[in-house]
Amino acid sequence: MYIVTTSIYRTVNNTINIISQMFIIIVRWLNPFYIILTPFVYIARLCHQLPILINSRTPNNSCSTYNKYSMVPLPPDSNFIQDRWQSFQYVEWRFTDVWTSDKCRERCDAWSMTHFKCKSNFIENEGDSKEYVKTITRKKPSEVIINSTHLIIFFKNTIVIFMDHYFCDGLILADLIKEIFYEDNISSKTFPKYKNYPLISDYMAIEFSGRTLIENMKYPSLIKGLSDKTYVLTETFKKNEDLPWNRWAIYARGIYNIYEALPEDIEYLRIGVTVGFDTDITFGNNRIGIIIVTIKRLSAYLSQNEKILNYMEEFKNQALKKMNDANTSYDIVRSYNMNYIRTNKMKRVLDVYFTSFFFKEELTHNVSGVGGYVGTLNTAENIYISALSRGSTTFYTYVSNVKQLNINKLTSYGIALEYEFDNNDPNQF
């Protein structure tokens, strides 16, 4: 009896200690000032979301209604309202097998019907895909893509896709990749579910904003100066035995290449790792959050693999620690009027945007290509990295208009220069 009683006492005592420790952690984490602000932020959420809900109507989804230039954008979509090519996600894939245009059109139609209730905006072109892109980007998108969410151009052995980011986010892009390049046995790509808890989510929004502001003051951007050109580069990386094959290695290799082409006085980079969410589009078409990590530059005396392994650990540790930030950052742009912040201030928070997709299935045929943005970027410094992984191969795209980035160094590493656009040409959009 004594033993049983003692055991129960110890269990209860341990439970009390655990609860006490959790309480201390919560008290330390909670900020009294943020707590006071939380009800007001909750009211701000209601003031923003209720009018949207009241005025929402079931859309008349037809190809003639997709004209973003006549719409008032919701906060998640405000960055992509401009009549510039930088508002369009660009995909260019070259394949070895000769696909018929009918087969490709059929798959694109199926994707478009699923998301937009109309057949794809699909055309054929017998010319050269690169020359086509160089020509088309000298016109405004509204002169080329009219009342549509996308434009798909089929060339021999190449498919070019412009996806209006106003309507098309990462979830829709991932579904297009699956529809075009894979057969029916591909596993579904799972995106995390968006979650919201009244008042708790509002507190987390305040905490995230305050912490991000402090981190941004601690680590102001060292990326300064626009290049005369915007460059689009690609790299194909195969799985090897020297490094682990996981998301952290993919992030690390991309940042390794960028650091190797930046001056030594760039001691750190603020990187926004994008995360797509499975949720409705009531409050905006773009369902994307970010996790912000600060990756410090490593010593030049370390080997390539040593640097990548260290960058991997930093990505892993920081991203896992801040994993809830993805949901919170998306919740902020979904739930409050953040137009000013998104259009004017966000560029000073992040040095690099990093988007990645992973499909575990191998492709049945060889492909290579681009997955990023084309056209000029002349309003703010921008480094964008896209990493699309299929089985044991990752396809990187680097887009940059940063003067400090040495493009010659990147190409000397075997990274291919696909396009360059003159940022000072008034006729280049």
Q: Which two tokens stand for residue 68?
A: 């973003």
The one-letter amino acid at 393: T
Alpha-carbon distance of 345 to 338, in angstroms, equals: 10
Domain boundaries, the chain: 200-422
What per-residue confidence (pLDDT) applies to 181?
73
Listed as ranges, residues in the chain with pLDDT below 50 are 1-13, 16-28
What per-residue confidence (pLDDT) applies to 347?
56
What per-residue confidence (pLDDT) applies to 339?
66
What per-residue confidence (pLDDT) applies to 326?
96
200-422 in CATH: which number? 3.30.559
b/e burial code for range 290-303 (CB count within 10 A of at least 16 → b): bbbbebebbeeeee
For residue 6, what are the contacts with CB-CB under 8 A and spacing of at least 6?
none
Q: Of 81, 412, 49, 33, which Cα lies nearest the Cα of 235?
A: 412
What per-residue confidence (pLDDT) applies to 421?
96
pTM: 0.89
What per-residue confidence (pLDDT) applies to 3?
36
Separate counts of helices (H) and strands (E) for the chain: 12, 12
Please report how many Cα atoms fall inside a 13 Å half-sphere around the Cα of residue 78, on the Cβ side.
Answer: 16
Strand partners for 273:
291, 354
b/e burial code for range 22-34 (CB count within 10 A of at least 16 → b): eeeeeeeeeeeeb
Instruction: Look up residue 343 and give its DSSP letter.
Output: I
On whether the CB atoms of residues 189 and 359 are closer than 8 A, the answer is yes
